[in-house]
């Protein structure tokens, strides 16, 4: 049996570089958010919520480090959607309501963007990293030897990386709806009590979306064609609900800051489904 020390030594240099890069990205996310908070002219409830949500992504990068170190296949789609949404989440906070962004914030955002691009490049373009990320999550196994928790190949045929990317992107729908709903809730408590039903509906829609996405992706991973159509329909409904509410309750600024990341996640979901469909159609011909 290989020890942890031996496993660490035998990791490819590209994998070690990726884990270091992820740690730097997690740190940069916190630093950039603190800089933005320091220089923000208005440190209100909405900025606090958005800043807290963006800083939580640093924990996502730490979780991604664990997946990379263990060689999990889920690391690639998880890293892609985390990098894309982090750039949008931080970028929407750099731009103030009026005037130009502060120079330290812009420099920090440029650095963070470069780190995220480097992370995605290593995940998808490095042969060493691709060869390392081949393990599946451990499962509870019951067999003749008893009950054990170990890595096993999936029971269903292995799905493409683009389907995994679509699943990871779709899982962000719910939090990307709940964050602006929480921001709108703070504004409603101030001077727009008549909009309370709309905010409650927004919260409810965000929670229902999480269950709808979970249902769709569960069958999507099993190769059900109707699950793809249903996920496209869920994506359309999510956009039809979230974007008008962003415009009405948060204004054009909220539409850009909160609707933009959701649009990016939806575009990545649909693009992943399209690429996966093309790959499956080309496979029989090949």
What local confidence, expressed as pLDDT, does residue 243 receive? 94
Half-sphere exposure of 251 (CA within 13 A, CB side): 4
- Where along the chain do its domains lie? 1-137, 156-278
pLDDT-derived band at 225 (thresholds 50, 70, 90) equals confident
Burial of 132 (0-12, 13-18, 19+ CB in 10 A): buried
Q: Are 206 and 184 in contact (CB under 8 A)?
A: no
The winner for highest mean pLDDT among 3-7, 106-110, 176-180 is: 176-180
Residue with more model confidence, 172 or 150: 172
106-144 tens-digit pLDDT: 888 889 899 999 999 999 889 988 888 877 666 655 666
Q: Are 160 and 277 in contact (CB under 8 A)?
A: no
d(CA 276, CA 278): 5
d(CA 148, CA 8): 25
d(CA 266, CA 166): 9
19-71 tens-digit pLDDT: 999 999 999 888 887 777 776 666 666 667 777 777 778 888 999 999 898 88
Tell me the average pLDDT of the chain.
Answer: 81
Model pTM score? 0.74
The winner for highest mean pLDDT among 27-41, 92-106, 154-168, 173-187 is: 173-187
- Say yes or no to pLDDT of 164 above 90: no
> What share of the chain in percent tops pLDDT 90?
26
75-91 tens-digit pLDDT: 888 898 888 888 877 77
What local confidence, expressed as pLDDT, does residue 155 receive? 56
User: Residues near 65 by Cβ (< 8 Å), separated by ≥ 6?
Assistant: 19, 22, 23
Half-sphere exposure of 24 (CA within 13 A, CB side): 16
Mean pLDDT lowest among 123-137, 162-176, 242-256, 259-273: 123-137
Q: Are 206 and 177 in contact (CB under 8 A)?
A: yes
Biggest alpha carbon distance in the chain?
69
Q: Are 50 and 183 in contact (CB under 8 A)?
A: yes
Q: Are 91 and 41 in contact (CB under 8 A)?
A: no
What local confidence, expressed as pLDDT, does residue 1 receive? 41
What local confidence, expressed as pLDDT, does residue 213 receive? 95
Which pair of tokens denotes residue 220?
A: 């999507």
- Say yes or no to pLDDT of 182 above 90: no
């Amino acid at each position: 049996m290989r020890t942890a020390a031996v496993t660490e030594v035998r990791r490819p240099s590209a994998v070690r570089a990726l884990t270091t890069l992820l740690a730097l990205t997690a740190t940069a996310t916190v630093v950039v958010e603190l800089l933005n908070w320091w220089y923000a002219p208005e440190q209100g409830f909405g900025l606090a919520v958005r800043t807290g949500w963006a800083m939580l992504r640093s924990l996502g990068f730490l979780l991604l480090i664990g997946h990379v170190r263990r060689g999990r296949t889920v690391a690639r789609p998880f890293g892609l959607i985390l990098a894309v949404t982090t750039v949008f989440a931080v970028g929407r906070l750099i731009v103030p309501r009026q005037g130009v962004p502060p120079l330290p914030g812009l420099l920090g955002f440029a650095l963070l963007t470069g780190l995220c691009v480097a992370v995605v490049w290593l995940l998808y373009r490095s042969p060493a990293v691709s060869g390392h990320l081949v393990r599946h999550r451990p499962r509870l196994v019951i067999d003749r030897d008893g009950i054990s928790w170990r890595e096993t190949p999936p029971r269903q045929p292995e799905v493409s990386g683009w389907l995994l990317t679509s699943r990871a992107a779709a899982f962000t729908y719910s939090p990307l709806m709940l964050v602006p709903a929480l921001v709108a809730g703070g504004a409603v408590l101030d001077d727009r009590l008549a909009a309370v039903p709309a905010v409650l509906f927004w919260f409810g829609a965000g929670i229902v979306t999480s269950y709808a996405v979970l249902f769709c992706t569960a069958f999507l991973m099993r190769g059900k064609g109707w699950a793809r159509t249903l996920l496209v329909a869920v994506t359309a409904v999510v956009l039809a609900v979230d974007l008008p509410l962003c415009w009405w309750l948060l204004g054009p600024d909220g539409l850009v800051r909160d609707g933009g990341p959701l649009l990016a996640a939806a575009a990545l979901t649909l693009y992943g489904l399209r690429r996966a469909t093309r790959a499956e159609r080309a496979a029989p011909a090949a």
